[in-house]
């Protein structure tokens, strides 16, 4: 995705809050929710997410075997081209070290959810602070504020222009190999997206009459930002957060695949599992298929719900 | 001394261009030297075509836009010079009612929260309980049920929303309320109710109003004094009745000639002054008299070079025209434009389908300044108010 379309997309999402329909605030969401309920995309997305979250939360307690247990040492020998496929005791078969794939997938689900949520939160919180500051400066800070805003935005645009994986790899390279690294690296990539989105949305709200009304009431600027502008600027941010969960999961998997993920075998992660499976792809393709399908399906779930939410909120996309 | 005095107020918006560094390439002279006085307990009506700077002037009084030059003195304090925090506290005494009732209410706040906001900002009431009592009393005054407290703006009709806007201003017990086209977004049937409410509140609470409108009938009905604006400055100011009886400035004459007269005999003889040319851009106002490009009486030289100041010409009229007396006495004749019979076929001056023969009073007839007739028609359409009739409360 080129920088221009990326920026345009963020801008469009930000503008949604400024559309006429928003003036009926609460009913906008009610209306959007009604649309969501009748959208197949949203329902499929929500079901996938629900199943994934349940698996991620309770799954690790239900594993038939410990993810590191190599009880079947006799059956599988490292790198000898012999693998145990799915069978009664091991639904997904064994991996190259004789560990139960099903158990590892369950534990991995939690890791994947954790990476997705934490890195999105990192991006959300940092982006929220930067975008909020920028938006507040631009809307209520006068001339000086506009200058602060444009400096911040140039910086954000620079970050946005860097290919996200490159940015993530550079962060990971600096911080070394661990799960935290992956989460931070993926989170950093989301920062400019959230910052630009919130700022754009706040700018759209900044000119609204109710903001002017609050000013004329003598409400303090800080309170106008926190109690008037920001709450009305959140809808696109919520949509973006849903979409970001999908991106984060894929990007985290990509980083793990590139060898930057958590090397600890006790807490398998789908991306790492995928990377390890690569060596045995010729003999045991299923070892790669399980984590790959897991990643694809969960990312799909978040994307479906996010896109459906975006459509439900966007009057231009409504039929 | 008057309660509110504006002296030489100018608001110029810079026009910026440039990619990296903004360059100022010019200014929009939205308000360009307005001086007026509003007496305590009275209503000052401000009329003028769209874009002449009425809203900007109203906002400058509250310092919602930066004042480029001039002073706004409320009760002896020059607001233009107040530092930010003091200005914020001063806003309690100056409140505003907005044109778009829905847009001026935060959709995510319920009525109690909307009405509390200002009180909290000014430390009125020691707890929410006390504030709620006060809000209930004000809601009652503006004719809203007290069960409105927990509801949200979209649950009300247009007229009710404007009542909420008025209540929001009232809870702060202001001295002056600036009403920027308080009824132009409302359904015609509701307009009168809101105007009457404003009048009652004024009587009861001794409020002072600065009412901005393009609807001459509305302004005449409630104003003691009327100021007519053209391209950022006042061209005429007079007591309401005097202005309607005999407008002195050519621009006011043209505006008034479009308003039907209730007396059918007078109405039959009414003449309509048709202005030529378009409204010039406030970014590039004409030299000399701002009105000379369209003035039917414009004289060579002086009108195009010397800017007329607002001066007292007797009868309570202050007029910014070099030739006001000569025009009044009929010494000068038209140099351009056209005077036609208002009742002539094809001269459509009143968008409302009402018949002057029936003797409808001008007060009830929302006569529009011709240049605004179209805009107003557009404005009224999206207002949800027109769909649901005002629920009587
Ligand atoms: N923030 C701004 N920046 C630049 N120009 C502005 C700004 N606000 C208003 N203007 C310009 O100033 C002029 C006066 O605008 P204003 O809104 O005061 O007119 P108005 O008399 O209230 O018109 P209307 O009847 O349409 O409300 C217009 O030409 C407008 O485009
Ligand atoms: S000064 Fe001249 S142009 Fe201006 S209103 Fe008077 S006659 Fe017309
Ligand atoms: Mg206006």
pLDDT score of A42 more than 60: yes
Q: Which residues are paired to B10 by β-bridges? A: B32, B69
Q: What domain range is A161 assigned to?
A: 3-65+92-317
Contact assessment for residue A15 and residue A204, using Cβ atoms and an 8 Å cutoff:
yes
- Domain at A157, CATH number: 1.10.3720.10
CA distance B206 to chain A (A): 20
Q: Which residue of A has its CA nearest to B117?
A: A219
Mean pLDDT of B13-35: 85
Between CA B339 and CA A149 the distance in angstroms is 55
Selected residue with higher pLDDT from B385 and B165: B165
Q: How confident is the model at residue B346 (pLDDT cuts 50, 70, 90)?
A: low
Which of B108, B116, B156 is the best substitution to test chain A (most A C-beta atoms within 10 A)? B108
Q: Is the pLDDT of residue B360 over 80?
A: no
C-alpha–C-alpha distance, residues B104 and A166, integer Å: 45
What's the pLDDT tens digit per position in B69-125?
Answer: 999 999 999 999 899 889 999 999 999 999 999 899 988 888 999 999 999 999 998
Q: What is the ipTM of this complex?
A: 0.80
Number of domains in chain A: 1
Q: How far is CA A36 from the centre of its chain?
A: 20
Contact criterion met (CB < 8 Å) for B91 and A23: no
A75 lies in some domain:
no
The size of the A-B interface in CB pairs under 8 A is: 85
Whether A32 and A312 have beta carbons less than 8 Å apart is answered as yes
> Quick one: pLDDT band at residue A106, thresholds 50, 70, 90?
confident
A263 is a domain residue: yes
Q: Report how far apart, in Å, the C-alpha atoms of B16 and of each of A153, B25, B28, B284 are.
A: 18, 6, 11, 15
Please, what is the angle between helix B111-121 and helix B158-170, to 10°?
Answer: 20
Taking all residues of chain B, what is their mean pLDDT, rounded to a whole number? 83
Atom of ligand 2 nearest to the CA of B304: 3
CA–CA separation, A248 and A253 (whole Å): 8
Could you tell me if residue A278 is inside a domain? yes
A28 pLDDT above the threshold of 70: no
Smallest CA–CA distance from B174 into chain A, residue:
A217
Which among B347, B361, B168 is positioned nearest to B263, based on CA atoms? B361
Question: To which H or E segment does residue A148 belong?
Answer: helix A142-161
Q: Which residue has the higher pLDDT, A318 or A256?
A: A256
Q: How does pLDDT run across B312-342, given as a tens digit for each residue?
A: 998 889 999 999 888 888 888 777 766 777 6
Distance CA A225, CA A222 (A): 5
Tell me how close the Cα of B261 comes to any Cα of chain A, in angstroms: 36
- C-beta of B227 in contact with ligand 1 (< 6 A): no
On the question of pLDDT at B177 being above 90, the answer is yes
Q: Which domains does chain B have, with CATH numbers?
A: 4-103+173-245 (3.40.50.300), 246-347 (no CATH)
Ligand 1 binding pocket mutation candidate from B31, B55, B183, B372 (most atoms within 8 A of CB):
B55
Residue A87 lies in a domain: no
Query: What's the CA gap between B266 and A184, in Å, rounded?
Result: 81
b/e for B131-141, b at 16 or more Cβ within 10 A?
bbebbbebbeb
pLDDT tens for A131-178 read 999 999 998 888 888 889 999 999 998 888 888 778 778 887 888 878
Please give the C-alpha separations between residue A49 and each of A267, A300, A301, B334, B350, in angstroms, as whole numbers: 22, 9, 6, 78, 62
* Helical packing angle, A25-37 and A286-313, nearest 10°: 140
- With 80 as the cut, is the pLDDT of residue B132 above it? yes
- Max mean pLDDT among A233-237, B34-38, B338-342 falls in B34-38
Q: Beta-carbon neighbour count of residue A182 at 10 Å?
A: 32
Structural domain contains residue A108: yes
pLDDT reading at B165 higher than 90: yes
A74 part of a folded domain: no
CA B186 to CA B158: how far, in whole Å? 6
Q: Could you give the residue ranges of the DSSP H alpha helices within chain B?
A: 54-61, 84-90, 111-121, 128-141, 158-170, 188-205, 216-222, 240-245, 250-256, 264-269, 302-305, 324-329, 370-380
Residue B202 pLDDT: 95
pLDDT band at B385, cuts 50/70/90?
very low
State the nearest Cα–Cα gap between B151 and chain A, in angstroms.
11
**Does the residue A239 lie in any domain?**
yes
**The pTM is what?**
0.79
Q: How confident is the model at residue A5 (pLDDT cuts 50, 70, 90)?
A: confident
With respect to residue A70, please indicate whether it lies within any of the assigned structural domains: no
Best of A204, A217, A219 to mutate (most B CBs within 10 Å, chain B): A217
């Amino acid at each position: 995705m080129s920088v221009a379309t990326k920026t345009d997309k963020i801008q469009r999402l930000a503008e949604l809050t400024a559309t006429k329909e928003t003036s009926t605030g609460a009913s906008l969401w009610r209306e959007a929710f009604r649309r969501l309920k009748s959208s197949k995309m949203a329902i499929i997305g929500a079901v996938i997410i629900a199943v994934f979250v349940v698996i991620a939360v309770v799954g690790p307690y239900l594993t038939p075997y410990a993810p590191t247990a190599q009880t079947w040492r006799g059956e599988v020998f490292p790198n000898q081209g012999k693998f145990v496929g799915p069978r009664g005791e091991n639904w997904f078969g064994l991996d190259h070290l004789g560990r139960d794939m099903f158990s590892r997938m369950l534990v991995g689900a939690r890791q994947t959810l954790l990476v997705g949520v934490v890195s999105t939160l990192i991006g959300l919180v940092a982006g929220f602070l930067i975008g909020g500051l920028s938006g507040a400066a631009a809307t209520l800070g006068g001339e000086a504020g506009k200058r602060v805003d444009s400096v911040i935005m140039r910086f954000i645009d620079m970050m946005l222009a860097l290919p996200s994986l490159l940015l993530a790899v550079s962060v990971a390279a600096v911080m070394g190999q661990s799960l935290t690294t992956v989460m931070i690296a993926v989170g950093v990539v989301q920062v400019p997206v959230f910052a630009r989105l919130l700022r754009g949305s706040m700018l759209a709200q900044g000119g609204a009459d109710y903001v002017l009304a609050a000013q004329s009431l003598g409400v303090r600027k800080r309170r106008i930002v926190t109690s008037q502008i920001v709450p009305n600027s959140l809808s696109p941010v919520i949509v973006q957060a849903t979409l970001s969960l999908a991106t984060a999961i894929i990007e985290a998997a990509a980083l793990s695949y590139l060898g930057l993920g958590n090397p600890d075998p006790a807490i398998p992660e789908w991306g790492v599992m995928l990377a390890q499976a690569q060596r045995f792809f010729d003999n045991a393709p299923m070892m790669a298929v399980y984590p790959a399908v897991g990643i694809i399906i969960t990312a799909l779930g978040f994307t479906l719900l996010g896109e459906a939410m975006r459509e439900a909120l966007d009057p231009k996309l409504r039929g | 001394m008057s309660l509110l005095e504006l002296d030489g107020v100018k608001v110029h918006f810079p026009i910026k261009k440039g990619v990296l560094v903004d360059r100022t390439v010019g200014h929009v002279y939205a308000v360009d030297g307005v001086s007026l006085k509003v007496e305590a307990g009275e209503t000052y009506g401000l009329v003028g075509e769209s874009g002449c700077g009425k809203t900007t002037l109203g906002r400058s009084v509250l310092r919602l836009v930066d004042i480029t030059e001039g002073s706004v003195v409320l009760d002896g304090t020059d607001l233009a010079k107040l530092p930010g925090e003091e200005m914020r506290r001063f806003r309690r005494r100056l409140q505003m009612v907005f044109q778009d009732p829905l847009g001026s209410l935060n959709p995510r706040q319920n009525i109690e929260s909307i009405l509390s906001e200002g009180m909290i900002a000014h430390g009125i009431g020691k707890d929410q309980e006390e504030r709620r009592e006060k809000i209930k009393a004000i809601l009652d005054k503006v004719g809203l049920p007290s069960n409105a407290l927990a509801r949200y703006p979209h649950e009300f009709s247009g007229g009710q929303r404007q009542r909420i806007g008025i209540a929001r201003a009232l809870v702060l017990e202001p001295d002056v309320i600036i009403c920027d086209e308080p009824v132009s977004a409302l359904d015609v049937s509701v307009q009168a109710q809101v105007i009457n409410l404003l009048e009652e509140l004024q009587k009861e609470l001794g409020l002072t109003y600065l009412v901005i409108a393009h609807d001459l009938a509305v302004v005449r009905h409630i104003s003691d004094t009327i100021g007519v604006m053209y391209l950022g400055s006042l061209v005429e100011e007079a007591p309401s009745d005097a202005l309607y009886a005999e407008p002195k400035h050519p621009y006011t004459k043209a505006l008034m000639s479009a308003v039907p007269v209730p007396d059918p005999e007078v109405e039959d003889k009414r003449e309509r002054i048709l202005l030529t040319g378009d409204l010039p851009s406030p970014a590039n106002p004409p030299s000399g008299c701002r009105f000379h490009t369209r003035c039917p009486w414009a004289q060579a030289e002086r009108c195009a070079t010397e800017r007329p100041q607002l001066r007292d010409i007797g009868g309570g009229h202050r007029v910014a025209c070099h030739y006001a007396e000569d025009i009044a006495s009929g010494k000068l004749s038209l140099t351009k434009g056209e005077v036609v019979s208002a009742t002539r076929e094809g001269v459509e001056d009143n968008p409302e389908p009402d018949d002057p023969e029936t003797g409808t009073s001008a007060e009830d007839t929302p006569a529009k300044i011709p240049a605004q007739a179209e805009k107003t028609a557009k404005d009224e359409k999206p207002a949800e108010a027109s769909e649901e009739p005002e629920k009587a409360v």
